[in-house]
Amino acid sequence: MPILPVIQMPKEPGDNDIAVVEILQEASVLPLSKGIYPQYREPSFFEDNFVSTWSQNDFARIKRMSTHSRELWQLVHAQISAMEGHFEPGECRHGIICDLRDRQAGVRHLGRGLEVTFDQADSARLAMPRSWQYELGMLASIKSNTSITLVLDALQDKYGIMAVDNFLDAFYLREQEKSWQREVWGGDLPIDNWEERLLAIKRRVKPHGYEAFALPQKTFMSLHNAYATANSIKTTLEQGGHHVTFLKDEASQVIIDRQAKLISATGKAFRIMQDTPYDKQMQSMTKAVRTVSKVASFFGRPGLEKMLDIYGDFKYIGPVFQFQNYNVNWLPPHAEIEYLDDGNIRIAIPERWILRYSARQFFAARDFNQYQYLVAEGVQGINHGYSGRDIIKQFKAWDQAYGLSILNASYDGASCKLDSLPQHIDAFVAELKRFCPDIESPDAKKQLLENKMLHFWWD
C-alpha cells in the first residue's frame, strides 16, 4: 500500500519557527519533544506513558522471556499486549488511516467488505474508475448518516483483482491526503487550568503560522535511583501545577520456573494465591476448550487445526506474583531478568523512588488549521445523523459569529471555547442540544456562562 511521505519541519528553522519553539518551551513543564501527527503514526510519541515508563529494551526482554514456554507466554501476555501498541510500529489502532489499513488488510485477505462513509465518499469517487457506473451510483446515494459496503470479492469477480487493488490504493492515498502526517512539537501542561494555558499558547503561536491542540490526559511515571533527584523533580512538578504522588520501590525479587510457577518472592514482591472461584472456572474452561479442539480436529473440521495448535496444550495461568506499585504478573520497568543455572528465572528490582503524575499533553503544528485538525481526527456524529462535514460547517458558522477555538477533538467529540457569548443564551443552548443531544446538560449553560466552554460528545 502506498504511503505518503511525512511533512518535515524546516531543516533550517526561520524566525517564526524559532519564536514558536521559545513559546512552547516556556509553556511546557517538561522539555519539548518532536513527533508525528496524526495518531496513526508509528507509536514513538504521545503514547500512554504508564506503558512508556518501560523501555524498548524492557519490552524486548519480556517478549524474549515469553518464548521459553507456553506458560511463560500466558503469564506475561497481558503486559505484552498492553506494550505492543507503544513499541511495535504499525500496531497503533487509532486514527483514520490505521482504520483503513486494518480494513483493507481484512478485505484483501478475508474477503470482507469495504465500508464507505459520507466523509469518505469523495475519496472513493475520485479513486474509482469511471466505468464502474453502478458502484459510482451507490456512492452518490450516501447521506450524512449512512454508509455503503463494497463487497471486494464481488468487485474482483466483476472487474478483476488488479483493478480492485488499484482502486484501494488510490482510495487509501486520497484519505491520507486529508490527514497528511507531519512533524510537530509536543509538550505537556499541568492539569490545573490546562484549557486557559492552551488558549494562551494558541494566541501566541497563531501569528507565526502555527496551531496548537491538546491530546488526552496521560499518567506519567518516572524512576529515580536517588531520593534527592526524585525530590527535586517532585518540587519542580508541583510548582508547575502538577499533582504528584511520591512512591518508593523496595529491593524485591521473584523466582519462577519455566512453567510459570512461583518458587520464591522476597522484599515487596508477593505470592498471589489462585484459589478464587474465577480461577477455578477458568481452569475448567480451558480443559473444556482443549477437549473440544481435539475432538474437532479428529473429525477434520476445517480451520480447527489452528485452534488445536493454540489451545491443545493451553494451561490457564492466573495471578502468580505482584511487585508493589505494579500490576499482577507484570515485570516492573528496568527489572533484571536472570536465567539461572537450574533453569529458573529471577526477576529483580533495586530500591528506587517513583514519581507518578498526570499531565495534559499538547502539540503544535505548522500550516495546519483547526478544521484540518478535525478532519485528521476523523470527527463525526453519525449516531445523531451528522457527518464530519456537517460538524465542521456548524463550527465554522459559530466561529464566524462568536469566535471559536478548538482545544481538542476525537472521532466522536470535541472541546471548544467561544471568544464571545451569544446575545440570547437560552436560544443558543437549545441550538447546542439539537446539534448534540449528549452535550453535558444541564451544565452546558453553566459552563458557557462561566468560561465560554463547550464539550461535544456524539455517542
Give the CA dihedral 292, 297, 300, 305, nearest 10 degrees.
Answer: 120
Whether 44 shows a pLDDT value over 70: the answer reads no
Count other Cβ atoms within 10 Å, centred on residue 138. Answer: 17
User: pLDDT per residue over 275-325, tens digit each?
Assistant: 555 555 555 666 666 666 666 665 655 444 444 444 445 566 788 999 999
Q: What count of residues does the chain have?
A: 459
Q: What is the pLDDT of residues 193-232, one digit of tens each?
A: 899 999 999 999 999 999 999 986 677 778 888 999 899 8
pLDDT tens profile 82-133: 787 666 644 333 333 334 444 344 444 344 678 888 999 999 999 999 999 9
Strands 352-366 and 404-410: unpaired
| pLDDT computed for residue 428 by the predictor | 93
At 380-415, the pLDDT tens digits run 888 888 999 999 999 999 999 999 999 999 888 999
Residue by residue, DSSP assigns 394-434 as: HHHHHHHHH-EEEEEEETTEEEEEESS--S-HHHHHHHHHH
Report the chain's mean pLDDT, rounded to a whole number: 82
309/92 Cα distance (integer angstroms) = 27
Residues 6+ apart with CB under 8 A from 310: none
Q: Which of 262, 252, 246, 215 is nearest to 377 (CA)?
A: 215
- Give phi and psi for 237, each to the nearest 5: -65, -45
**Residue 327, SS3 per DSSP:** coil
Neighbours of 212 (CB within 10 A): 30
**Closest to 187 in 3D by CA, of 53, 37, 54, 26:** 26
User: Is residue 71 over pLDDT 80?
Assistant: yes
Higher pLDDT, 90 or 172: 172
